[in-house]
Chains A and B, each alone.
Chain A
């Protein structure tokens, strides 16, 4: 540097966050939010395929109405493992901890999250929780179902419930740390001039999600402590034979776990808003109502947990109120679906892979949401809550909704994250295979539910077999569909074409920087647009002609 020739410095143009150290150690000690996002994504991808393997085995078993490859106990352990892994080790961290971690600081024009070391710590805590779960699996698994309902979980289950509880308990702290970090980041690190109503809806969605993470997760943590003590010492607080109340546990559990549904779906809504506006080349329809709808969903999400106990012996009056409030949540959710549709109207639409995934999200979330109304109604729920209808409903929201949106986001921001393009035709094929496989898996389950097939059983009446075979066939297509992105995305990290800084012509702040971004995200301060989603459909249409 001492003999610096007056040559214009290449503006650090070569280095980026991926070239900033190649050793494993540099990754394990990083406080760069972008690298932590990648640590998370690798971890949750492993859990996704573990949970998926459990589901595949279950669907294989359900081809036959009689035992085929396993016993009832193994089946119970599989659906518990599937639920615990998919809920706490994939869906909850999926979009917030990966895309959220990568994008939130960039979308607000900051160099990193507000508390980078806490961010790294959250990943280690997450991994520690995951280790407990793996120990649980090695020790034979749990058979309580992911909801750990008492008194089965406290008195009767012979499995290693305590390890599983420990895993979920520990992981909760990683959720709290992540949520806390995002709230502080959005409050404190927005670039000058970037006011709340100039923020992308993805930031709004992650912010609302973070509030739920911070306020709901501690409730779960303490509930699990009480449950563990009850199991160890049989003190009776959740046990009717000892004067306690098993429904009390359900109230405590769902006070967390219903808002947790919104932890899973709000970020998905954020991703859909980014992707649909970009590929329709239009500003999002009703930006402010979209933002308020996110806030409303988060707020009302805390007040509907009782709809999980309509048939659990809850007071009728409580059930009536919870039923009413559950219908209320449909309003902001419907606003979002209507507004995405209105955003498409007169847009200049193209069907790149992220758009296919995002449109798939809207359609499947619509079905999942509408069937939720059936279950919010007391009379219908009394009949349906025991059946496969519920399984189909929440998979439409969780998988059709959240996972589709997660893939939409991964594809949309892949060029930014890796600096590489994936194969567009393979990606489109993947989106279509997943969509078809998903519907073939879960739509028959709605019919099975209406026909009265009870959930959680591994044997069933022979006349349900045809639809179960359809569902299992769909599951095999779905499994292939999920393997596709794993293959072509991995391939693209090594051999994909170099990505431009803004391959989609998108308007977010994150597209103003290089692909992949430099360590501190921006070489020069990003330009803050007058309004978010500053797209022009007519200009786009003319450009295409």
Chain B
């Protein structure tokens, strides 16, 4: 990769991979943007149903998860920064913390899904709602599962990337002079975090607005 890049006047401060990753993040924004668009139109058509359905989500677990994922974003940013400054051990610990927090997020989310299934909130099963607003409520939970599901898939991929980073830093593959991979992983993790910032209010807080 780098051999080909040498051919021409490459800029010193960023790399091909970093430019590529930013472009990838732009495409991710469009990916989630479509879901936000579908959610918005459906909610405009069914405001009451969305509010009532949203009341059935577990706002406590959702809020705890906010705390967990935002903290993981902090530890991730610090991990990348520590590595850049040469603090290999600190970076390793922070990466480990990020990984654990990410796993905790997914564990809480799974527990929440389990509750949702118990409460018959899954729109393609025995659905809990039967009132006049059931159609809209069904769509709310459709969007709820698609959006949190897409987010959870991204989290899972992120955990895989973090695992590679952990091993890399532990073995000394990624060091102060070769910290780019960890920084790119941090960028990706920030996207996953940002998506949750959008999902939390529109899925958990509708009935409180």
Chain A positions near chain B (C-beta within 8 angstroms)? 105, 108-118, 176, 179-181, 183-184, 187-194, 214-219, 221-223, 225-226, 229, 232-233, 235-237, 242-245, 248, 252, 255, 520
Contact = CB atoms under 8 A, between A and B. Distances in A.
Contacts of A214: 23, 26-27
B8 A108 contact: yes
Contact of A116 (B4, B30, B142): B4
A120 to B, nearest CB: 12
Interface in B21-68: 23-24, 26-28, 30-35, 37-38, 41-42, 45-46
Nearest to B42: A237
Contacts of A179: 23
B142 A237 contact: yes
A113 B24 CA distance: 16
Interface in B130-184: 135-136, 138-139, 142-143, 146, 150
Q: Is the interface of A mostly helix, strand, loop or mixed?
A: helix
Given A110-B7, A110-B8, A112-B4, A236 B38 contact: no
Nearest to B44: A245
Nearest to A215: B30
A189 B20 contact: no
Interface string B2-22: 011111111100001101100
A235 B7 contact: no
A115 B24 contact: no
11 contacts: A110-B4, A114-B5, A114-B16, A184-B19, A188-B8, A215-B26, A218-B27, A222-B32, A243-B135, A244-B135, A252-B37
B20 A190 contact: no
Contacts, number: 133
Interface of B: 1, 3-11, 16-17, 19-20, 23-24, 26-28, 30-35, 37-38, 41-42, 45-46, 123-124, 135-136, 138-139, 142-143, 146, 150
Nearest to A221: B31
B11 A229 contact: no
Contacts of A219: 30-31, 33-34
A180 B34 contact: no
Nearest to B32: A222
> Sorted from nearest, which 5 A-B pairs have the closest CB atoms?
A243-B135, A233-B124, A218-B31, A112-B4, A192-B9
B30 A216 contact: yes
B34 A188 contact: no
A503 B57 CA distance: 69
Contacts of B28: 218
Nearest to B30: A218
Contacts of A237: 38, 42, 139, 142-143
A117 to B, nearest CB: 7
Most B-side CB within 10 Å, residue of A183, A194, A229, A237 = A237
Given A184-B19, A188-B10, A215-B30, A236 B138 contact: yes
A244 B142 CA distance: 12
A252 B24 CA distance: 20
Given A216-B30, A252-B37, 6 more contacts: A111-B7, A180-B27, A183-B20, A183-B23, A184-B23, A194-B8
A108 B150 CA distance: 38
